[in-house]
Amino acid sequence: MTTDAARSTADGLAHHPLVGRPGKVIALHLNYPSRIAQRGRAPSRPSYFLKTVTSLATSGQTVERPPGTELLAFEGEIALVIGTTARRVAREDGWSHVAAVTAANDLGVYDLRSADKGANLRSKGGDGYTPLGPASIPAEQVDPASLRVRTWVNGELAQEDSSATVVFPFGELVADLSQLITLEPGDVVLTGTPAGSSVVGPGDVVEVEVDVPGTDHSTGRLRTSVVEGPEPLPEFSAQPSVDDHQRAEAWGSRDAAGLEPPFELTEDRIAKLRQVAVATLSAQLRKHGYNQLSIDGVRTDKPGSKIIGRARTLRFVPAREDLFRSHGGGYNAQKRTFDSLKPGDVLVVEARGERGSGTVGDILALRAQVLGAAGIVTDGGVRDHSAVRELDIPTFSGGPHPAVLGRKHVPWDNDITVACGGATVQPGDVIVGDDDGVLVIPPALLDQVLDAAIEQEAEEEWIAARVAEGAAVDGLYPLTGEWRRRYDAERDQEGTR
């Protein structure tokens, strides 16, 4: 129930979004389904970060984009202003501690995210990076699920969504935070942004409004102008760092950022890979200057079969009793990785070439098969080798061994760059294996290598036919001189049929 003090605070907020100087500003990472779909990860519980009190600003102020940065992004949000102290409150009572709501712009510089990771202190804590206002809506006068947030950039609508869609209702956020943190009058809670957040630069104007459609309840438009900062960061400060992943996240998509679409191992590419031998692909990789892409010392348990897929990785470190006690049992990295496999994945395991212990057994291999994984590659041993061999999923390994992990290995981490059989493997690399062995192909190389490999195999098939007819290999293998002219003429003739 709203107290008289909270009601008085709410009345005072009708034109002023802040109660004195807030003690803290807490922001939520993800809440709107539209934004969650963009990010590709769904939170099971709310997660937060802190913004500095000096990041607060009012409507009509400017915000600086630091010199040398390119990815200043806006995020229109609904901000909650706490009216009464909240400590360990129940979920159903959380909203009663909110005095008012107002419009917020949770600005951030993606170029500086690498310095802080999830803390966001540098990227989102700069002066002026949390404008609020211009007015507030008393919380007691509205249903928290009836609010709308909209954002305009240079007068064009960029974001629009309803609080009715959020994963974590606003009262629940207050209750959740209050379990460990005392929320005090004036504290501000930012409740997440919907899809549509993107990049702005000097000269752009961003406006955010929170309202209740069909009523007079509105915060008015919170207006912020972007300017270029006057001073670059000194050398002793963390410098801007940008990659295509950050660009895609800041702009909202790779397409919006002007980037090439992400590589996909399409059915057409897979069909081509099935046509060519690993030996042929290896020869083409060498022609392109790549001689270190073979995973050595591993053999298939299913002669005649082939694996084609994208790499997922798992890393074991050398066995150590205390580390195995802390990392070897329970739902460890090995089990988590197998459980997360998707159709078309090839799990590549770094076991340092140590074959004196199993790195996969029949249960985990079966799990990979059920999930649709395309294969398993490990430069270590395989337990239950006969049972694994009977499964449909191909496994390339250093051979059988009966021992469990603890003898030689500790499962450590996954989906990182690993070394397997002397080759460096990154998540997403293309993995191709047959009876000759296993290759790692960087995605950017695949198409040119693949087309050349198909042409090479066509040539070699023609050469083999000539050898079968009794021709000597001199000048024929590889094709030179008259043999080359003859081959090219026949190919041209076939092309005109």
Please report, in range form, the residues annotated as the binding site for Mg(2+).
384
> Alpha-carbon Rg of the chain, whole angstroms?
30
Binding-site residues for substrate sit at 361-364, 383
Q: List residues forming the annotated binding site.
A: 361-364, 383-384
Secondary structure class of 324 (helix, strand, coil) = helix
Alpha-carbon distance of 412 to 324, in angstroms, equals 9
Q: Classify 164 as helix, strand or coil.
A: helix
Distance (Å) of CA 428 to CA 262, 345, 350, 416, 443: 11, 9, 15, 10, 8
Q: Are 80 and 94 in contact (CB under 8 A)?
A: no
How does DSSP assign 268-312, residue by residue? Answer: HHHHHHHHS-HHHHHHHHHHTT----EETT-EESSTT--EEEEEE
Within 8 A by CB and 6+ apart from 495, the residues are none
CA–CA gap between residue 186 and residue 56 (Å, rounded):
12
- Side-chain-side CA neighbours of 146 within 13 Å: the count stands at 14
Query: Cα angle vertex 193, ends 191, 198, to 5°?
Result: 150
